[in-house]
Amino acid sequence: MTYRILTIVPAAVVVALFMPIDASAQSTPRTSWGTPDLQGVWDFRSLTPMERPTDLATNDTFTEEQAAEFSEQEIGRRSRDSDTSGRVVPYNDFWFDEGTSVTTDRTSLVIDPPDGRVPQMTAAAMKRKEAQMMARRGVGGHEPTPGGFVEDLGPGGLQVRCILGFNSGPPMAPSAYNNNVQVLQTEDTVVLFAEMNHNARIVPLDGRDHLDPDIRQWTGDSRGYWEGDTLVVETRNFLRETNFMRAATSRNLLLTERLTRVDQGTLQYDVTIDDPTVWSQPWTFSVPMQRNDHPVYEYACHEGNYGLYNILAGASVEESSK
């Protein structure tokens, strides 16, 4: 009997040793209830352009040399310290945190369409854009459209009035600074806490329906569910435009975000934009977020709310001088 046991046990051990191991299951941290652990602070800064540059139209990906050259050129192009135009530069390079390299081998964050370009805008959206450009001729990006401080805040208005951060969208996208989001997670809820304007989007995972379409919010109405090891967040019922791509979206936006924990230090963020009143087709971009071991600090957008007073006072002076 003893002999039989000894011969069976080694055989079982050999079988176990040669069984395939799911590498992703080994490398992906999990919560105590079994889902991938997405918690932590994630940094999404990147020099990778949203759209593929026209001079790279035939290049889906960078070579290592191209990536280094592009990053060096981009850093030089964005530098405020080397500005020789004579214009007023409000912030120098010390205040910016746009990254020092591309974060993917692709030549654009846009992955669909395959050409790496944002789809063509609809005729109606182009007409609205042209009308806004006419109404804002001679008006700075951070100034309200004349006579439209409430309804037409201008392409930078949501940022200037501290309603939404310029990189928090939603969706989130790399920008000048404060490119961090903290993810908090329970079994039935996920919170996406954007550093820019300290906005927290609460995402129920319990299968509840979206709010009534008449109830609209600046950041929309989010609902989430697990698709394998990927958290899918669907958001609709936006009040109006968000701060994505300088207020390009509309209240009809259907936003689908996918968050996948790739490994200990990477959270993949894939975003599908579906706004038929703005773009001719849905499109998708992807950002690999890197783990940040530092906490998220307060972003005090308008301390004492002096900004709002100054905006109104400046607009009044501009109008009286015409």
110 inside domain: yes
92: left (phi over 0), alpha (psi -120 to 50) or beta: beta
Q: How many domains in the chain?
A: 1
* CB atoms closer than 10 angstroms to residue 44: 21
CA angle centred on 132, ends 129 and 136, rounded to 5°: 140
CA–CA distance, 221 with 139 (Å, rounded to integer): 33
Do 190 and 203 form a contact (C-beta atoms < 8 A)?
yes
Distances in Å between the Cα of 38 and the Cα atoms of 185, 259, 266, 286 are 7, 8, 10, 17
Evaluate whether residue 216 is within a structural domain. yes
Domain presence at residue 183: yes
SS3 259: strand
Residue 229: CB atoms within 10 Å: 14
Rounded (10°) CA dihedral 124, 130, 131, 137 = 170
Residue 189 belongs to some domain of the structure: yes
pLDDT value for 26: 54
Model pTM score: 0.86
- Segment-wise mean pLDDT, segments of 10 residues, the chain, 322 residues: 39 39 63 97 97 94 94 91 78 90 95 97 95 86 76 81 91 96 98 92 97 96 98 97 93 98 97 98 98 92 74 79 74
Both tokens of 147, joined, read 């006579």
Is residue 47 assigned to a domain?
Answer: yes
Beta bridge partners of 285: 110, 271
| DSSP-assigned beta bridge partners for residue 288 | 268
Whether 150 is covered by a domain: the verdict is: yes
Domain holding 155, by residue range, is 40-76+92-296
d(CA 270, CA 275): 16
Cα 38 to chain centroid, rounded: 16
Note the Cα 281 to chain centre separation in Å.
Answer: 19
pLDDT of residue 13: 37
Residue 288 within any structural domain of the chain: yes
Q: Indicate whether 277 belongs to any domain.
A: yes
How far apart, in whole angstroms, are the C-alpha atoms of residue 177 and residue 172?
12
8 Å CB contact between 192 and 41:
no
Alpha-carbon span 238 to 253, nearest angstrom? 7
* Spatial CA neighbour of 37 closest among 155, 186, 201: 186
| Phi, psi torsion values for 42, nearest 5 degrees | -125, 130
Phi/psi for 108 (5° steps) reads -155, 155
| Interstrand relation of 254-263 and 230-236 (parallel, antiparallel or unpaired) | antiparallel
